[in-house]
Amino acid sequence: MEQKELQILCEKISIDLFGEVFRHEVRFNNKLRTTGGRYLLKTHDIEINPKYLKEQGVDAVIEIIKHELCHYHLHIKGRGYKHGDRDFKCLMKKVGAPRFCKPLTTVKRVKQSYKYIYQCSTCKQEYKRKKRMDISRYACGKCRGELILKQEIKGS
């Protein structure tokens, strides 16, 4: 799918589902990594992650466009366009837009690693940390008990 086809698709979805014209630009952005698309508040343009087209097909791109058009049309009208706003949630439900897109399988998710495990000497609550901390300056957030270094993981 080329840029021009993407623009035509977006304009068609806007008229069919929202009953309004999309007057701005939609384009692919190769720099998007963690999201399927985004609506740009200043320019009113929409950017789509091309990896979704390659991996999940046109249907995934249509779902992303529907979601971004919800942001677009509500923002243009001066109504609640953010994810938590009631207007946004109602419009998404009305047009069948997804809240999130399916994650890409080609993108590697980095597992959070930790080096230190601290434990409360009173309630046994565990705290996993990447960096070493001065336990004389901190207490347990649950019971205010004293923290001890339970384990230091080597080689992470």
Residues designated as active site: 68
Residues 6+ apart with CB under 8 A from 150: 117, 118, 119, 126
For residue 76, the SS3 value is helix
Residues 6+ apart with CB under 8 A from 51: 32, 104, 106, 107
- DSSP conformation class of 18: I
Q: For residues 70 and 49, what is the distance between their CA atoms, to the nearest angstrom?
A: 17
